[in-house]
Amino acid sequence: MSTGSLHRTSLYDAHVALGAKMVPFAGWDMALQYPAGILKEHEANRKGCSIFDCSHMGEFLIEGDAVASGLDRIVTQSIVDQPVGTCRYGMALNDAGGTIDDLIVYRLSSEKWMVVVNASNIDKDAAHFRRSLASGVMFKDVSFQTAKLDVQGPLSRDVLKALVPGIEKLDHYTFGIFCVLGEDVIVSRTGYTGELGYEIYYPWDKAEKLWNVVMDDKRVYPTGLGVRDVLRIEVCYPLYGHELSEAITPVEAGLKRFVDMNKIFIGKEALVVRQQVPSRRIIHFISDSRRAPRQGHQISLNDGTVVGEVVSGTFSPALGLGVGIGFIKKEFTGTVKDIIFGEEKLRLGAQTAARPFYKTGSLKN
């Protein structure tokens, strides 16, 4: 449903009843945080179990052979050899090698697929898929019929195993069809937090029942977009519009491992040229203090030379320090260790670091 110019998920009233602060995000009226605050929500994700309403994400259904349908040509990852019951992360590129969106492909059967895309790009992505798929290929946008609930954290398996028998058999980036409260639905072992977690794709108009059942477990805490951003920055996951955009290539964003250069895909020729002479490169850094870098802050060397800009930043409760992600100009090809970030009147020190910042999550447990 929608109100004015903003869409609402089917759980909007449930969020309001819990006292959530609602904010506009990617065209949706979404829960930013709940009354106990982001630190409590962070603790629930890193030490216990959380639930996110991610129904704003987009889902496409496609039927056809991976190559003949044109689907394999749309995504940077190879899906020809993708086993049924697995998920693969990749990107869709434009003709200039820039990123139209990052996405996850689910192989439902030998010739049936689900593609999950970002909320802000649903319409753009749907147009790109329809334009790029072969004539006559079945393509269906089911974004507004599909709710998505993310149950995340070290205790997520224990919370869900009674509700979803057999869930403990799922490996990371695999999924199954499970009967959940009488509905046969996709449940995948995926997430955006760096912790053990699951995503449940549920009928839109029945999602509140599932939300309430999961929330009845006292180990589960509702969490919003605010802490979701903190969690993904701590593990250095990209967010479209920050680390990725139509102007930024996956290689520049440090995501080359999700690009199969042995296959044909839209934008490959331009990407080959651009990766030889990249316009920027990504860096990850940890602040010398609790002060958090923010998107748009300048990145400078110790001598004051401006070399780039912050695209994501936050205070990390896990580290007790500010952490950030940015791009620096191509001409600075050497090792950059000590940097300065901030606004003109507030310059703060930091050191570059290997990703992820947070290294002790339960993701592979």
**pLDDT tens per residue across span 153-173:** 999 999 999 999 999 999 999
Q: Give the contacts of 10 (CB within 8 A, at least 6 positions apart).
A: 1, 55, 147, 204, 205, 207, 208
Enclosing H/E stretch for 150: strand 146-152
Closest C-alpha to 317, from 7, 24, 37: 37
Q: What is the mean pLDDT of the chain?
A: 96
Residue type present at position 76: T
**Domain co-membership, 115 together with 170:** no
Asked whether residue 318 is domain-assigned, the answer is: yes
What is the rounded average pLDDT of the residues 68-82?
Answer: 98
Sequence-distant (6+) residues with CB within 8 A of 81 are none
- Reported as a pLDDT band with limits 50, 70 and 90, residue 5 is confident
What is the predicted pLDDT for the residue at 1? 55
In a domain, 267, yes or no: no
Containing domain of residue 346, as a range? 279-352
Task: Return the pLDDT at 272.
Answer: 97
Banded pLDDT at 345 (limits 50, 70, 90): confident
For residues 77 and 224, state if they share a domain. Answer: no
Q: Give me the pLDDT at residue 243, please.
A: 98
Tokens representing residue 198 in the block: 């699951």
pLDDT at 301: 87
Structural domain contains residue 271: no
CATH number of the CATH domain containing 292:
2.40.30.110
185 and 206 within one domain = yes
- The confidence score (pLDDT) of residue 286 equals 96
Q: Are residues 38 and 63 in the same domain?
A: no
Question: How large a percentage of the chain has pLDDT more than 90?
Answer: 90
In-domain check, residue 150 = yes
Same domain, yes or no: 227 and 152:
yes
pTM beyond cutoff 0.85: yes
Phi, psi of 139 (to 5 degrees): -130, 130
The pLDDT of 104-114, averaged and rounded, is 98
The pLDDT value given to residue 4: 62
| For range 340-358, the mean pLDDT | 90
With a CB cutoff of 8 Å and minimum separation 6, the contacts of 191 are 150, 152, 197, 198, 199
